[in-house]
Structure 1
Amino acid sequence: MARFEHTVTLAPVPRRWFESCVTALHDLAEDLGVEGACLRLPDGRLLPGLVLSEGRHLRPGARYRPVNEEDGRPDAGQAVTVLAWDRHRETALEAVTLDDDPAHPAQSTCVLRLVSAARPREVWFSATLRTGGDTRAKYLGGTVRLHLDLGGWWPAAAGRGRRPLTAPLSGTLTHALARATVTVVPRPDPDGHWRVTVKARVKGRSFARPLLPVAMAVMGRRAHRAFAEALDDAAREWDGRLPALVRKEGEELRAELAGALLAP
Protein backbone atom coordinates (compact mmCIF):
# COMPACT_ATOMS: atom_id res chain seq x y z
CA MET A 1 0.00 0.00 0.00
CA ALA A 2 1.16 3.54 -0.76
CA ARG A 3 0.10 6.48 1.41
CA PHE A 4 0.08 10.16 0.45
CA GLU A 5 -0.79 13.27 2.47
CA HIS A 6 -0.60 16.99 1.72
CA THR A 7 -2.23 20.14 3.09
CA VAL A 8 -3.14 23.23 1.08
CA THR A 9 -4.64 26.59 2.05
CA LEU A 10 -7.75 27.64 0.14
CA ALA A 11 -9.92 30.73 -0.07
CA PRO A 12 -13.19 29.83 1.70
CA VAL A 13 -16.59 29.44 0.09
CA PRO A 14 -19.30 31.01 2.28
CA ARG A 15 -22.07 28.52 2.90
CA ARG A 16 -24.75 31.11 2.25
CA TRP A 17 -23.19 31.92 -1.13
CA PHE A 18 -22.98 28.25 -2.09
CA GLU A 19 -26.63 27.71 -1.24
CA SER A 20 -27.66 30.83 -3.17
CA CYS A 21 -25.71 29.52 -6.16
CA VAL A 22 -27.59 26.19 -6.00
CA THR A 23 -30.87 28.11 -5.85
CA ALA A 24 -29.89 30.36 -8.76
CA LEU A 25 -28.97 27.37 -10.93
CA HIS A 26 -32.33 25.73 -10.25
CA ASP A 27 -34.18 29.00 -10.85
CA LEU A 28 -32.37 29.51 -14.14
CA ALA A 29 -33.11 25.98 -15.36
CA GLU A 30 -36.77 26.19 -14.36
CA ASP A 31 -37.19 29.59 -16.02
CA LEU A 32 -35.97 28.37 -19.41
CA GLY A 33 -38.64 28.58 -22.08
CA VAL A 34 -39.25 25.58 -24.32
CA GLU A 35 -40.26 25.96 -27.97
CA GLY A 36 -40.29 22.52 -29.52
CA ALA A 37 -36.74 21.34 -28.96
CA CYS A 38 -35.30 24.83 -28.50
CA LEU A 39 -34.53 26.39 -25.11
CA ARG A 40 -34.67 30.11 -24.35
CA LEU A 41 -33.50 32.18 -21.41
CA PRO A 42 -36.14 34.26 -19.57
CA ASP A 43 -35.05 37.37 -21.51
CA GLY A 44 -35.80 35.59 -24.80
CA ARG A 45 -32.25 34.77 -25.88
CA LEU A 46 -31.87 31.38 -27.50
CA LEU A 47 -29.72 28.93 -25.58
CA PRO A 48 -27.21 27.89 -28.24
CA GLY A 49 -25.80 24.45 -28.72
CA LEU A 50 -28.35 22.51 -26.63
CA VAL A 51 -31.76 21.04 -27.44
CA LEU A 52 -34.40 19.01 -25.62
CA SER A 53 -34.42 15.77 -27.59
CA GLU A 54 -36.76 13.64 -25.45
CA GLY A 55 -39.34 14.05 -22.70
CA ARG A 56 -40.65 17.13 -20.92
CA HIS A 57 -38.36 19.86 -19.64
CA LEU A 58 -36.83 18.96 -16.24
CA ARG A 59 -39.12 15.97 -15.77
CA PRO A 60 -37.48 12.59 -15.03
CA GLY A 61 -36.48 11.11 -18.37
CA ALA A 62 -35.97 14.48 -20.09
CA ARG A 63 -32.93 14.21 -22.33
CA TYR A 64 -30.83 17.07 -23.69
CA ARG A 65 -28.23 16.87 -26.43
CA PRO A 66 -25.61 19.29 -27.74
CA VAL A 67 -25.89 20.40 -31.35
CA ASN A 68 -23.23 19.53 -33.91
CA GLU A 69 -21.67 22.69 -35.30
CA GLU A 70 -21.19 21.06 -38.71
CA ASP A 71 -24.79 20.10 -39.53
CA GLY A 72 -26.84 21.66 -36.71
CA ARG A 73 -28.25 18.28 -35.66
CA PRO A 74 -28.35 16.87 -32.12
CA ASP A 75 -25.25 14.84 -31.29
CA ALA A 76 -26.34 11.23 -30.87
CA GLY A 77 -23.13 10.44 -28.98
CA GLN A 78 -23.76 12.85 -26.08
CA ALA A 79 -26.73 13.30 -23.77
CA VAL A 80 -27.69 14.69 -20.38
CA THR A 81 -30.70 12.99 -18.78
CA VAL A 82 -32.74 14.20 -15.81
CA LEU A 83 -33.03 11.39 -13.28
CA ALA A 84 -34.75 13.48 -10.59
CA TRP A 85 -35.75 17.13 -10.16
CA ASP A 86 -37.34 17.94 -6.82
CA ARG A 87 -35.98 20.86 -4.84
CA HIS A 88 -37.09 19.39 -1.51
CA ARG A 89 -35.79 15.88 -2.16
CA GLU A 90 -33.22 15.28 -4.85
CA THR A 91 -31.77 16.66 -8.05
CA ALA A 92 -29.98 14.06 -10.18
CA LEU A 93 -28.47 14.30 -13.67
CA GLU A 94 -26.71 11.74 -15.83
CA ALA A 95 -24.31 12.66 -18.64
CA VAL A 96 -23.30 10.00 -21.17
CA THR A 97 -20.69 10.34 -23.93
CA LEU A 98 -20.08 7.67 -26.57
CA ASP A 99 -16.92 7.30 -28.63
CA ASP A 100 -17.49 5.03 -31.62
CA ASP A 101 -13.81 4.63 -32.52
CA PRO A 102 -13.72 1.14 -34.13
CA ALA A 103 -10.40 0.32 -32.47
CA HIS A 104 -11.34 1.47 -28.96
CA PRO A 105 -15.08 2.17 -28.53
CA ALA A 106 -15.78 3.79 -25.19
CA GLN A 107 -18.62 5.09 -23.04
CA SER A 108 -18.26 7.54 -20.18
CA THR A 109 -21.11 7.97 -17.72
CA CYS A 110 -21.24 10.68 -15.06
CA VAL A 111 -23.98 10.97 -12.44
CA LEU A 112 -24.45 13.93 -10.07
CA ARG A 113 -26.93 13.77 -7.18
CA LEU A 114 -27.80 16.57 -4.76
CA VAL A 115 -29.91 16.27 -1.60
CA SER A 116 -31.52 18.77 -1.71
CA ALA A 117 -31.66 22.14 -3.49
CA ALA A 118 -33.91 23.66 -0.84
CA ARG A 119 -31.48 22.62 1.90
CA PRO A 120 -28.24 21.22 0.45
CA ARG A 121 -27.01 18.39 2.65
CA GLU A 122 -25.17 15.85 0.51
CA VAL A 123 -23.66 15.48 -2.95
CA TRP A 124 -22.75 12.25 -4.71
CA PHE A 125 -20.75 12.10 -7.93
CA SER A 126 -19.71 9.08 -9.95
CA ALA A 127 -17.89 8.72 -13.26
CA THR A 128 -17.34 5.48 -15.13
CA LEU A 129 -15.34 4.88 -18.28
CA ARG A 130 -15.96 1.60 -20.09
CA THR A 131 -13.89 0.64 -23.09
CA GLY A 132 -14.04 -2.08 -25.72
CA GLY A 133 -11.73 -3.45 -28.35
CA ASP A 134 -8.70 -5.63 -27.72
CA THR A 135 -7.74 -7.31 -24.43
CA ARG A 136 -5.87 -4.19 -23.28
CA ALA A 137 -9.07 -2.14 -23.32
CA LYS A 138 -9.99 -3.02 -19.73
CA TYR A 139 -6.88 -1.19 -18.54
CA LEU A 140 -8.13 2.07 -20.08
CA GLY A 141 -11.32 2.23 -18.02
CA GLY A 142 -12.18 2.82 -14.39
CA THR A 143 -14.62 4.32 -11.91
CA VAL A 144 -14.52 7.39 -9.65
CA ARG A 145 -16.97 7.88 -6.77
CA LEU A 146 -17.14 10.94 -4.51
CA HIS A 147 -19.34 11.85 -1.54
CA LEU A 148 -19.51 15.33 -0.03
CA ASP A 149 -21.24 15.82 3.32
CA LEU A 150 -22.27 19.47 3.06
CA GLY A 151 -23.71 19.43 6.57
CA GLY A 152 -20.32 18.43 7.95
CA TRP A 153 -18.02 20.48 5.71
CA TRP A 154 -18.62 24.01 6.99
CA PRO A 155 -18.60 23.12 10.73
CA ALA A 156 -15.32 21.26 10.20
CA ALA A 157 -13.90 24.18 8.19
CA ALA A 158 -14.85 26.56 11.03
CA GLY A 159 -13.49 24.26 13.75
CA ARG A 160 -16.86 24.00 15.47
CA GLY A 161 -17.95 20.99 17.48
CA ARG A 162 -16.24 17.62 17.62
CA ARG A 163 -14.16 16.31 14.81
CA PRO A 164 -16.32 14.22 12.47
CA LEU A 165 -15.88 10.46 12.56
CA THR A 166 -15.70 10.43 8.77
CA ALA A 167 -14.16 12.93 6.36
CA PRO A 168 -16.67 15.44 4.90
CA LEU A 169 -15.33 14.65 1.44
CA SER A 170 -14.29 11.13 0.51
CA GLY A 171 -13.95 9.09 -2.63
CA THR A 172 -12.54 6.08 -4.39
CA LEU A 173 -10.90 5.52 -7.74
CA THR A 174 -11.01 1.95 -9.01
CA HIS A 175 -8.91 0.67 -11.88
CA ALA A 176 -8.11 -2.83 -13.06
CA LEU A 177 -4.61 -2.47 -11.56
CA ALA A 178 -5.16 -0.21 -8.54
CA ARG A 179 -7.68 1.16 -6.09
CA ALA A 180 -7.23 4.55 -4.41
CA THR A 181 -9.16 5.85 -1.40
CA VAL A 182 -9.12 9.60 -0.79
CA THR A 183 -10.28 11.69 2.16
CA VAL A 184 -10.43 15.49 2.38
CA VAL A 185 -10.78 17.30 5.71
CA PRO A 186 -10.93 21.11 6.16
CA ARG A 187 -9.71 23.00 9.22
CA PRO A 188 -9.78 26.74 9.98
CA ASP A 189 -6.70 28.83 9.26
CA PRO A 190 -5.98 31.82 11.53
CA ASP A 191 -6.43 34.26 8.63
CA GLY A 192 -9.91 32.93 7.78
CA HIS A 193 -8.85 30.59 4.97
CA TRP A 194 -9.35 26.83 4.92
CA ARG A 195 -6.48 24.45 5.61
CA VAL A 196 -7.48 21.37 3.66
CA THR A 197 -5.69 18.07 4.20
CA VAL A 198 -5.89 15.47 1.45
CA LYS A 199 -4.95 11.87 2.21
CA ALA A 200 -4.78 9.05 -0.32
CA ARG A 201 -4.15 5.33 0.05
CA VAL A 202 -3.35 3.28 -3.03
CA LYS A 203 -3.51 -0.51 -3.22
CA GLY A 204 -2.39 -2.59 -6.16
CA ARG A 205 -4.78 -5.03 -7.78
CA SER A 206 -4.32 -8.12 -9.89
CA PHE A 207 -0.71 -8.63 -11.00
CA ALA A 208 0.14 -5.04 -9.95
CA ARG A 209 -0.34 -5.83 -6.25
CA PRO A 210 3.22 -7.15 -5.64
CA LEU A 211 4.68 -4.52 -7.98
CA LEU A 212 3.38 -1.46 -6.08
CA PRO A 213 5.81 -1.75 -3.12
CA VAL A 214 8.69 -2.10 -5.56
CA ALA A 215 7.56 0.94 -7.54
CA MET A 216 7.20 3.02 -4.36
CA ALA A 217 10.66 1.98 -3.20
CA VAL A 218 12.12 3.23 -6.48
CA MET A 219 9.91 6.25 -7.21
CA GLY A 220 8.24 6.97 -3.86
CA ARG A 221 9.82 10.37 -3.29
CA ARG A 222 9.02 11.49 -6.82
CA ALA A 223 5.42 10.25 -6.49
CA HIS A 224 4.90 12.14 -3.23
CA ARG A 225 6.36 15.31 -4.77
CA ALA A 226 4.07 14.99 -7.81
CA PHE A 227 1.05 14.49 -5.49
CA ALA A 228 1.90 17.65 -3.54
CA GLU A 229 2.63 19.72 -6.64
CA ALA A 230 -0.67 18.73 -8.26
CA LEU A 231 -2.59 19.85 -5.16
CA ASP A 232 -0.59 23.09 -4.92
CA ASP A 233 -1.36 23.87 -8.58
CA ALA A 234 -5.07 23.20 -7.99
CA ALA A 235 -5.03 25.46 -4.91
CA ARG A 236 -3.46 28.32 -6.90
CA GLU A 237 -6.12 27.92 -9.59
CA TRP A 238 -8.86 27.90 -6.92
CA ASP A 239 -7.52 31.01 -5.20
CA GLY A 240 -7.09 32.79 -8.51
CA ARG A 241 -10.70 32.35 -9.58
CA LEU A 242 -12.86 32.01 -6.48
CA PRO A 243 -12.63 35.37 -4.66
CA ALA A 244 -14.05 37.36 -7.59
CA LEU A 245 -16.83 34.85 -8.07
CA VAL A 246 -18.08 34.72 -4.47
CA ARG A 247 -18.45 38.51 -4.45
CA LYS A 248 -21.29 38.16 -6.96
CA GLU A 249 -24.75 37.67 -5.51
CA GLY A 250 -28.38 38.05 -6.48
CA GLU A 251 -28.97 39.28 -10.02
CA GLU A 252 -25.26 39.64 -10.67
CA LEU A 253 -24.72 35.96 -9.83
CA ARG A 254 -27.70 34.96 -11.95
CA ALA A 255 -26.34 36.99 -14.89
CA GLU A 256 -22.93 35.32 -14.47
CA LEU A 257 -24.53 31.86 -14.63
CA ALA A 258 -26.63 32.80 -17.65
CA GLY A 259 -23.54 34.14 -19.37
CA ALA A 260 -21.78 30.83 -18.78
CA LEU A 261 -24.62 29.02 -20.53
CA LEU A 262 -24.34 31.38 -23.51
CA ALA A 263 -20.58 31.01 -23.84
CA PRO A 264 -19.38 29.02 -26.87
Structure 2
Amino acid sequence: MARFQHTVTLTPVPRRWFESCVVMLHDLAESLEEDGARLRLPDGRHLPELFLDKGRHLQRGARYHPESDEEGPDLDAALTVLAWDRRRETALEMVALDDNPHKPTHMVCTLRLTSVERPREAELSGKAQASGGRWTRYTSGSGRLHLDLGAWWPSAAGRGRRTGPPVTGTLDHPLTRATATVVPRPAQDGRWRVTVKVRVTGRSFARLLLPVAMAVFRRRARAAFAEALDEAAEEWNRQVPELVSKDPEQLRLELVESLFKTDEEHQA
Protein backbone atom coordinates (compact mmCIF):
# COMPACT_ATOMS: atom_id res chain seq x y z
CA MET A 1 0.00 0.00 0.00
CA ALA A 2 1.16 3.54 -0.79
CA ARG A 3 0.00 6.78 0.85
CA PHE A 4 0.32 10.34 -0.42
CA GLN A 5 -0.63 13.65 1.18
CA HIS A 6 -0.20 17.26 0.08
CA THR A 7 -1.78 20.62 0.95
CA VAL A 8 -2.36 23.53 -1.40
CA THR A 9 -3.79 27.02 -0.88
CA LEU A 10 -6.69 28.03 -3.14
CA THR A 11 -8.69 31.14 -3.90
CA PRO A 12 -12.14 30.55 -2.34
CA VAL A 13 -15.38 30.29 -4.29
CA PRO A 14 -18.28 32.00 -2.46
CA ARG A 15 -21.13 29.61 -1.77
CA ARG A 16 -23.83 32.07 -2.85
CA TRP A 17 -22.02 32.69 -6.17
CA PHE A 18 -21.72 28.95 -6.83
CA GLU A 19 -25.39 28.34 -6.08
CA SER A 20 -26.42 31.25 -8.31
CA CYS A 21 -24.40 29.74 -11.16
CA VAL A 22 -26.11 26.37 -10.73
CA VAL A 23 -29.49 28.10 -11.00
CA MET A 24 -28.29 30.11 -14.01
CA LEU A 25 -27.22 26.98 -15.90
CA HIS A 26 -30.58 25.33 -15.28
CA ASP A 27 -32.42 28.49 -16.34
CA LEU A 28 -30.36 28.65 -19.53
CA ALA A 29 -31.06 25.00 -20.41
CA GLU A 30 -34.78 25.45 -19.73
CA SER A 31 -34.94 28.57 -21.90
CA LEU A 32 -34.07 26.53 -25.01
CA GLU A 33 -36.95 25.61 -27.32
CA GLU A 34 -37.35 22.63 -29.60
CA ASP A 35 -37.26 23.27 -33.34
CA GLY A 36 -37.38 19.81 -34.85
CA ALA A 37 -34.11 18.12 -34.02
CA ARG A 38 -32.44 21.45 -33.20
CA LEU A 39 -32.64 23.63 -30.10
CA ARG A 40 -33.31 27.35 -30.38
CA LEU A 41 -32.09 30.07 -28.02
CA PRO A 42 -34.54 32.75 -26.83
CA ASP A 43 -33.01 35.18 -29.37
CA GLY A 44 -33.91 32.81 -32.22
CA ARG A 45 -30.44 31.39 -32.91
CA HIS A 46 -30.05 27.63 -33.12
CA LEU A 47 -27.75 26.02 -30.59
CA PRO A 48 -24.77 24.89 -32.68
CA GLU A 49 -23.44 21.35 -32.88
CA LEU A 50 -26.23 19.68 -30.88
CA PHE A 51 -29.16 17.53 -32.03
CA LEU A 52 -32.17 16.28 -30.05
CA ASP A 53 -32.51 12.67 -31.16
CA LYS A 54 -35.10 11.22 -28.79
CA GLY A 55 -37.78 12.44 -26.36
CA ARG A 56 -38.72 15.95 -25.30
CA HIS A 57 -36.17 18.54 -24.29
CA LEU A 58 -35.01 18.02 -20.67
CA GLN A 59 -37.62 15.35 -20.04
CA ARG A 60 -36.45 12.04 -18.61
CA GLY A 61 -35.07 9.92 -21.45
CA ALA A 62 -34.27 12.86 -23.74
CA ARG A 63 -31.18 12.02 -25.79
CA TYR A 64 -28.84 14.43 -27.57
CA HIS A 65 -25.98 13.94 -30.02
CA PRO A 66 -23.15 16.30 -30.93
CA GLU A 67 -22.53 17.19 -34.55
CA SER A 68 -20.23 14.91 -36.54
CA ASP A 69 -17.64 15.92 -39.10
CA GLU A 70 -20.25 15.25 -41.80
CA GLU A 71 -22.53 17.93 -40.24
CA GLY A 72 -25.01 15.35 -39.00
CA PRO A 73 -25.44 13.82 -35.53
CA ASP A 74 -22.51 11.83 -34.20
CA LEU A 75 -24.11 8.58 -33.06
CA ASP A 76 -20.93 7.45 -31.27
CA ALA A 77 -21.53 10.08 -28.57
CA ALA A 78 -24.73 10.83 -26.66
CA LEU A 79 -26.03 12.82 -23.71
CA THR A 80 -29.14 11.42 -21.98
CA VAL A 81 -31.28 13.09 -19.31
CA LEU A 82 -31.80 10.67 -16.42
CA ALA A 83 -33.56 13.20 -14.18
CA TRP A 84 -34.43 16.89 -14.30
CA ASP A 85 -36.18 18.00 -11.11
CA ARG A 86 -34.95 21.24 -9.60
CA ARG A 87 -36.25 20.32 -6.14
CA ARG A 88 -34.81 16.82 -6.11
CA GLU A 89 -32.18 15.75 -8.59
CA THR A 90 -30.54 16.58 -11.90
CA ALA A 91 -28.81 13.63 -13.52
CA LEU A 92 -27.11 13.41 -16.92
CA GLU A 93 -25.40 10.46 -18.59
CA MET A 94 -22.72 10.90 -21.24
CA VAL A 95 -21.73 7.97 -23.44
CA ALA A 96 -18.92 7.87 -25.99
CA LEU A 97 -17.45 5.14 -28.18
CA ASP A 98 -13.83 5.30 -29.24
CA ASP A 99 -13.99 3.24 -32.42
CA ASN A 100 -10.31 2.38 -32.57
CA PRO A 101 -10.28 -0.76 -34.76
CA HIS A 102 -7.64 -2.42 -32.57
CA LYS A 103 -9.10 -1.54 -29.16
CA PRO A 104 -12.61 -0.03 -29.21
CA THR A 105 -13.51 1.54 -25.86
CA HIS A 106 -16.96 2.28 -24.47
CA MET A 107 -17.01 5.15 -21.95
CA VAL A 108 -19.90 6.16 -19.70
CA CYS A 109 -19.93 9.19 -17.38
CA THR A 110 -22.79 10.17 -15.06
CA LEU A 111 -23.23 13.50 -13.26
CA ARG A 112 -25.76 13.88 -10.44
CA LEU A 113 -26.73 16.96 -8.44
CA THR A 114 -29.11 16.92 -5.50
CA SER A 115 -31.35 20.03 -5.45
CA VAL A 116 -30.79 23.15 -7.52
CA GLU A 117 -31.89 26.02 -5.29
CA ARG A 118 -29.76 24.70 -2.42
CA PRO A 119 -27.27 22.14 -3.80
CA ARG A 120 -26.46 19.51 -1.17
CA GLU A 121 -24.56 16.79 -3.01
CA ALA A 122 -22.83 16.27 -6.34
CA GLU A 123 -21.46 13.05 -7.75
CA LEU A 124 -19.46 12.21 -10.83
CA SER A 125 -18.93 8.59 -11.83
CA GLY A 126 -17.38 7.03 -14.89
CA LYS A 127 -16.49 3.71 -16.44
CA ALA A 128 -14.35 2.74 -19.41
CA GLN A 129 -14.66 -0.73 -20.89
CA ALA A 130 -12.30 -1.83 -23.64
CA SER A 131 -12.75 -4.81 -25.92
CA GLY A 132 -10.86 -6.54 -28.67
CA GLY A 133 -8.24 -8.65 -26.94
CA ARG A 134 -7.24 -10.77 -23.94
CA TRP A 135 -5.39 -7.88 -22.28
CA THR A 136 -8.11 -5.27 -22.67
CA ARG A 137 -9.35 -5.85 -19.12
CA TYR A 138 -6.21 -4.09 -17.94
CA THR A 139 -7.14 -0.95 -19.89
CA SER A 140 -10.62 -0.80 -18.32
CA GLY A 141 -11.60 0.82 -15.06
CA SER A 142 -14.11 2.90 -13.16
CA GLY A 143 -14.11 5.89 -10.85
CA ARG A 144 -16.39 7.88 -8.58
CA LEU A 145 -16.12 11.35 -7.02
CA HIS A 146 -18.59 12.48 -4.35
CA LEU A 147 -18.85 16.06 -3.08
CA ASP A 148 -20.82 16.89 0.06
CA LEU A 149 -21.68 20.50 -0.77
CA GLY A 150 -23.44 20.99 2.54
CA ALA A 151 -20.20 20.22 4.39
CA TRP A 152 -17.66 21.89 2.08
CA TRP A 153 -18.13 25.56 2.98
CA PRO A 154 -18.52 25.01 6.76
CA SER A 155 -15.33 22.94 6.69
CA ALA A 156 -13.55 25.62 4.64
CA ALA A 157 -14.60 28.19 7.26
CA GLY A 158 -13.49 26.03 10.18
CA ARG A 159 -17.06 25.44 11.32
CA GLY A 160 -19.44 22.53 11.42
CA ARG A 161 -19.26 18.99 12.71
CA ARG A 162 -16.50 16.77 11.38
CA THR A 163 -18.68 13.99 9.99
CA GLY A 164 -16.15 13.02 7.33
CA PRO A 165 -14.24 14.56 4.43
CA PRO A 166 -16.43 16.70 2.14
CA VAL A 167 -14.89 15.09 -0.95
CA THR A 168 -14.23 11.38 -1.40
CA GLY A 169 -13.17 9.51 -4.50
CA THR A 170 -12.30 6.04 -5.68
CA LEU A 171 -10.56 4.73 -8.78
CA ASP A 172 -10.79 1.02 -9.53
CA HIS A 173 -8.58 -0.90 -11.93
CA PRO A 174 -8.01 -4.66 -12.21
CA LEU A 175 -4.51 -4.13 -10.79
CA THR A 176 -4.98 -1.24 -8.35
CA ARG A 177 -7.51 0.61 -6.23
CA ALA A 178 -7.01 4.24 -5.20
CA THR A 179 -9.08 6.12 -2.64
CA ALA A 180 -8.85 9.86 -2.06
CA THR A 181 -10.18 12.44 0.39
CA VAL A 182 -10.16 16.22 0.15
CA VAL A 183 -10.62 18.46 3.19
CA PRO A 184 -10.61 22.29 3.16
CA ARG A 185 -9.62 24.40 6.13
CA PRO A 186 -9.38 28.19 6.47
CA ALA A 187 -6.05 29.90 5.82
CA GLN A 188 -5.06 33.04 7.72
CA ASP A 189 -5.55 35.25 4.67
CA GLY A 190 -9.10 34.03 3.99
CA ARG A 191 -8.17 31.51 1.34
CA TRP A 192 -8.66 27.74 1.52
CA ARG A 193 -5.99 25.32 2.76
CA VAL A 194 -6.98 22.12 0.98
CA THR A 195 -5.43 18.80 1.97
CA VAL A 196 -5.56 15.89 -0.45
CA LYS A 197 -4.85 12.35 0.75
CA VAL A 198 -4.57 9.34 -1.54
CA ARG A 199 -4.14 5.69 -0.67
CA VAL A 200 -3.20 3.15 -3.35
CA THR A 201 -3.46 -0.62 -2.90
CA GLY A 202 -2.43 -3.34 -5.32
CA ARG A 203 -4.61 -6.11 -6.68
CA SER A 204 -3.80 -9.47 -8.22
CA PHE A 205 -0.06 -9.77 -8.91
CA ALA A 206 0.34 -5.98 -8.44
CA ARG A 207 -0.22 -6.54 -4.71
CA LEU A 208 3.30 -7.92 -4.56
CA LEU A 209 4.84 -5.44 -7.00
CA LEU A 210 3.52 -2.23 -5.43
CA PRO A 211 5.62 -2.39 -2.21
CA VAL A 212 8.75 -3.04 -4.30
CA ALA A 213 7.97 -0.15 -6.64
CA MET A 214 7.34 2.21 -3.70
CA ALA A 215 10.58 1.20 -2.03
CA VAL A 216 12.44 2.25 -5.18
CA PHE A 217 10.39 5.20 -6.38
CA ARG A 218 8.74 6.50 -3.18
CA ARG A 219 10.49 9.89 -3.14
CA ARG A 220 9.97 10.45 -6.87
CA ALA A 221 6.29 9.42 -6.69
CA ARG A 222 5.58 11.76 -3.79
CA ALA A 223 7.36 14.62 -5.53
CA ALA A 224 5.32 14.02 -8.70
CA PHE A 225 2.09 13.92 -6.66
CA ALA A 226 2.90 17.23 -4.95
CA GLU A 227 4.01 18.85 -8.21
CA ALA A 228 0.78 17.86 -9.98
CA LEU A 229 -1.34 19.37 -7.19
CA ASP A 230 0.77 22.53 -7.06
CA GLU A 231 0.34 23.02 -10.81
CA ALA A 232 -3.41 22.48 -10.55
CA ALA A 233 -3.60 24.96 -7.67
CA GLU A 234 -1.59 27.52 -9.65
CA GLU A 235 -4.03 27.22 -12.56
CA TRP A 236 -7.02 27.48 -10.17
CA ASN A 237 -5.62 30.62 -8.55
CA ARG A 238 -4.94 32.12 -11.95
CA GLN A 239 -8.47 31.69 -13.29
CA VAL A 240 -10.88 31.65 -10.35
CA PRO A 241 -10.46 35.25 -9.09
CA GLU A 242 -11.58 36.67 -12.45
CA LEU A 243 -14.37 34.11 -12.71
CA VAL A 244 -15.95 34.81 -9.32
CA SER A 245 -15.76 38.56 -9.95
CA LYS A 246 -18.46 38.15 -12.63
CA ASP A 247 -22.13 37.86 -11.76
CA PRO A 248 -24.09 34.86 -13.11
CA GLU A 249 -25.89 36.96 -15.74
CA GLN A 250 -22.58 38.12 -17.21
CA LEU A 251 -21.35 34.53 -17.21
CA ARG A 252 -24.53 33.41 -18.98
CA LEU A 253 -23.99 35.94 -21.76
CA GLU A 254 -20.34 34.95 -22.16
CA LEU A 255 -21.25 31.24 -22.17
CA VAL A 256 -23.86 31.69 -24.90
CA GLU A 257 -21.51 33.74 -27.09
CA SER A 258 -18.70 31.22 -26.62
CA LEU A 259 -20.89 28.57 -28.24
CA PHE A 260 -20.71 30.46 -31.53
CA LYS A 261 -16.96 31.07 -31.56
CA THR A 262 -14.69 29.18 -33.93
CA ASP A 263 -11.81 27.04 -32.69
CA GLU A 264 -9.39 29.79 -33.71
CA GLU A 265 -11.31 32.37 -31.69
CA HIS A 266 -11.34 30.08 -28.63
CA GLN A 267 -7.57 29.61 -28.90
CA ALA A 268 -7.05 33.36 -29.19
Report the TM range for the smaller structure's normalisation: over 0.9
Q: Which residue of 1 aligns with 2:22?
A: 22
Aligned length: 262
Q: Which residue of 1 aligns with 2:123?
A: 124
Q: Which residue of 2 aligns with 1:154?
A: 153
Residue 2 of structure 2 aligns with an amino acid whose one-letter code is A
Q: How far 1:263 moved relative to its partner?
A: 4.1
Q: Secondary structure at the match of 1:102?
A: coil
Q: Which residue of 2 aligns with 1:224?
A: 222
Q: How far 1:152 moved relative to its partner?
A: 0.1
Q: How far 1:102 moved relative to its partner?
A: 2.4
Aligned counterparts of 2:242 and 2:152: Cα–Cα separation in 1 = 22
Q: Secondary structure at the match of 1:233?
A: helix
Would the aligned equivalents of 1:62 and 1:82 in 2 still touch at CA under 8 Å?
yes
Q: Which residue of 1 aligns with 2:2?
A: 2
CA deviations on 1:92-117 (whole Å, 9 max, x unpaired) are: 00000012222111101000000011
Aligned counterparts of 2:160 and 2:25: Cα–Cα separation in 1 = 31
After TM superposition, list the pairs within 5 Å mapping 1:30-109 onto structure 2: 30-69=30-69, 71-109=70-108
Identity of matched residues, %? 62
After TM superposition, list the pairs within 5 Å mapping 1:199-214 onto structure 2: 199-214=197-212
Residue 89 of structure 2 aligns with an amino acid whose one-letter code is E
Residue 51 of structure 2 aligns with an amino acid whose one-letter code is V
Residue 35 of structure 2 aligns with an amino acid whose one-letter code is E
CA deviations on 1:13-37 (whole Å, 9 max, x unpaired) are: 0000000000000000000121001
Q: How far 1:72 moved relative to its partner?
A: 1.1
Moved more, 188-197 or 133-142: 133-142
The two structures, once aligned, show a CA RMSD in angstroms of 1.0
CA deviations on 1:202-257 (whole Å, 9 max, x unpaired) are: 00001100110000000000000000000001001111111111111142122123
Q: Aligned to 1:241, which of 239, 242, 258? A: 239
Aligned counterparts of 2:11 and 2:218: Cα–Cα separation in 1 = 30
| 2:122 pairs with 1:142 | no
Would the aligned equivalents of 1:114 and 1:124 in 2 still touch at CA under 8 Å?
yes
TM-score by length of 2: 0.95
Aligned counterparts of 1:47 and 1:119: Cα–Cα separation in 2 = 28
Q: Secondary structure at the match of 2:135?
A: helix
Q: Which runs of structure 1 show a deviation greater than 4 angstroms over 4 or more consecutive aligned residues?
A: none
Structure 1: runs of 5+ lacking an equivalent: none
Structure 2: runs of 5+ lacking an equivalent: 263-268
Residue 92 of structure 2 aligns with an amino acid whose one-letter code is L
Q: How far 1:150 moved relative to its partner?
A: 0.2
Would the aligned equivalents of 2:111 and 2:125 in 1 still touch at CA under 8 Å?
yes
Q: Which residue of 2 aligns with 1:115?
A: 114
